A and B are shown apart, each in its own frame.
Chain A
Amino acid sequence: MKQQHPLLFAAVALIVSVAGCAAPAPAIDYDAATQQMMKSSFRDQGIATVDRLQQDEADAACSKAQGAPLPEAQRVAIEAANMKTVRMPSDGQFLGDWKVGEQLAQNGRGMTWTDASTATSSNGGNCYNCHQISKAEISYGTIGPSLYQYGKLRGVTDPASPAARPIVEYTWGKLWNAKATNACSGMPRFGHNKLLDETQLKNLMALLLDPKSPVNQ
């Protein structure tokens, strides 16, 4: 066998070396290698299971962009797809109780592997971790914009009025799925990802928009 094909071996060697000259080392597919690394590095722990590593289109695109703006067409498409997920409140009422909303805004719990349940009732809104909200709370984060006087600054005097409707619906959409209006928003998609239920979202809405809320004083 060996003796019959010396030329073949030489030819293969030549082709390989020529190909090697034309294209030095094959480029590493880093995106595929990253997926492989993520898959092999994590395991389930409690409620935090490895299926969480699966990215939807928005998370995949924004990860890949590494903080840079998305191409315009992609941004528009992602925002449109996320806008379709926004569900307005079933009874048409947007505002609940701002006092309960304040407690929810203070609560940073939920969805980690040390939390017992994925039920919305176990989750907080995490709001103060990233936003200034009421003036009284000085321990607030700065990753997101200040929401102090959120409703007042937008001229909301009666949240139930037709004049307030656009800002009320916009705010509901932000809480439900922030990527509907900002493709690579860093804010969790509270409604879309079933982190908070309708009643909880209404209470946060009241914290932001009720003229009686301390946020709007």
Chain B
Amino acid sequence: MSKIVRTAANLLFPFILIFGFYVIVHGHLTPGGGFQGGAVMATGLAMIIAAHNYERIQSAFKKDLLKTLEGTALVLFLTTAVSGFVVGKPFLTNWIVQAGGLFGGEPTVAGNLNTGGIIPLLNVFVGLEVLGALTLIVLTMLSGAKENS
């Protein structure tokens, strides 16, 4: 694409990533959450893929890194779900809610980030997985289309 489009994409890219991360982390206070924030971050990466030419994309994005990120995020989600077995509760139990410590505060009307139990942790892991999955789909379809022509 032309130089104006490339410069605008390079300028907007960090702001989109920060906004997506904000939507993921504040999932238990404002509308949003894991899936929505992950889709916003993947949109930022797709904008970079659309603006630059193919050789630069091939050298910048490593598919192995995205595959590792996606697989690790899903394994960490399962680990957090199984972690209730330590205190003798069933699968996917919110066992650190309102018990002090990490994410165990009191919910207020103004919004306290330190609440929610295991919900913010699950939000972050699902957001990373959605980011890896959507970017990997776009990259695979692009490389499949480029090798035809």
Bound together = no
A residues whose Cβ falls under 8 Å from a Cβ of B: none
